[in-house]
Amino acid sequence: MRAARHQRGFSLVAAVFVIAIALLIVLAAVLTLSARNRSTVQALDASRALFAAQSGVDIAIARSLGGGCGAFPLTVEIEGFAVALSCTETDVDEAPDTYRIYTLTAVAQRGSFASNTFISRRVRATVTE
Report cis status (omega within 30 of 0) of the bond before 73. yes
User: What gap in Å lies between CA 127 and CA 65, rounded to an integer?
Assistant: 8
- Mean pLDDT score across all residues of the chain: 85
Query: pTM for the whole thing?
Result: 0.69
In terms of pLDDT, which residue wins out, 126 or 29?
Answer: 126
Residue 121 has what pLDDT?
Answer: 94
100 φ, ψ (degrees, to nearest 5)? -115, 145
Mean pLDDT within 1-28? 76
Residue 5: pLDDT band with limits 50, 70, 90? low
Inter-residue contact 123 to 50 (CB < 8 Å): yes
CA atoms within 13 A on the CB side of 85: 25
